[in-house]
A and B are shown apart, each in its own frame.
Chain A
C-alpha cells in the first residue's frame, strides 16, 4: 500500500521555537508538497519540490522554509514559530502525468 508518512500528528510549540515537520513517501515520486489547511480557506500551497535539492515557493511561503536532501523525504521548517502558524499541515506527493496528489495524515501544530 502506497504511503505518505508525516512524523508528528500533533505538536505544541511556543512562540519563537524552531519547528521541523518531516514527511516521507514510498512511491518514488519526484514531486512533493507542503500545504496548510485552515477552516474556510481550503488548502494553500506553502512550498513545492520537483527534485532533490530543488524547491519552489507556493502561495504562502513567508515564515517557512523547506529541505529535500533525499527523494523520499521533504521537510517543512518554521524558523521562529508564531501563533498565526497554528494550523493543520499536510504533506503530499504526486504523479507527474496527472498531478494526482497522495496525502499524509497531517500534522496539527499549535503555537502558544
Chain B
C-alpha cells in the first residue's frame, strides 16, 4: 500500500538555523507531492507542490523542497528559521489509483527556540 513517512514527529531548531523536515514516499511512479503547514487552531495551507516540472520547488515563506526520484524523497528545507515558522508540517502525495486523493504523512511539529 502507498505510504508517506515523515521522519521525526518533533523537530527543534534555533532561530536562524537551517530547517530540514524529511519526507519519503512509497511509489514506483513520480506522483504529485505537496507540503502543507498548519498553524495552531487552523486548517492546512499549501506551502509548495511538485507537479513534474523542476525538481527543486520553491514555496512560500522561504521554504523549498527537492524531489529526488532515486531516493523517493521530498524533504523540506529553509535556510534560516524564524519564530513564526513554528507549526506542524505535513507531506502528502497523490494516490496511484486516483489523482484526486492525497495520502498524508503523520506530520512533523517544528519548534523554534529563541
Complex CA distance for A33 and B49, rounded to whole angstroms? 19
* B77 part of interface (Cβ distance < 8 Å): no
- On chain A, which size bracket covers the interface? 20 to 34
Q: Is the pair B99, A103 in contact by a Cβ cutoff of 8 Å?
A: no
Report the minimal beta-carbon distance from B99 to chain A, rounded to whole angstroms: 5
Residues of B within 8 A of A31 (CB): 100
Residues of B within 8 A of A106 (CB): 41-43
Report the minimal beta-carbon distance from B39 to chain A, rounded to whole angstroms: 10
Instruction: Choose among B42, B49, B90, B104 the residue that contacts A105 (Cβ–Cβ < 8 A).
Output: B42
Q: Is the pair A101, B49 in contact by a Cβ cutoff of 8 Å?
A: no
Residues of B within 8 A of A94 (CB): 100
Among A12-20, A35-43, A70-78, the stretch that binds chain B is A35-43
Complex CA distance for A108 and B107, rounded to whole angstroms? 18
Given contacts A41-B106, A98-B32, contact A104 B101 (CB under 8 A): no
Report the minimal beta-carbon distance from A19 to chain B, rounded to whole angstroms: 19
Complex CA distance for A91 and B90, rounded to whole angstroms? 16
Residues of A within 8 A of B46 (CB): 100-102
Residues of A within 8 A of B74 (CB): none
Contact with B along A68-112 (1 / 0, CB 8 A): 000000000000000000000010101010111111111010000
* A66 part of interface (Cβ distance < 8 Å): no
* B12 part of interface (Cβ distance < 8 Å): no
B interface residues with partner A (beta carbon < 8 Å): 9, 32, 34, 36, 41-46, 49, 51, 90, 92, 94, 99-102, 104-107
Q: Could you give 26 example pairs across A and B, Cβ below 8 Å?
A: A31-B100, A40-B107, A41-B106, A42-B105, A42-B106, A42-B107, A43-B44, A45-B101, A48-B100, A58-B101, A92-B43, A92-B44, A94-B100, A96-B100, A98-B49, A99-B32, A99-B94, A99-B102, A100-B34, A100-B49, A101-B46, A103-B36, A103-B45, A104-B43, A106-B42, A108-B41
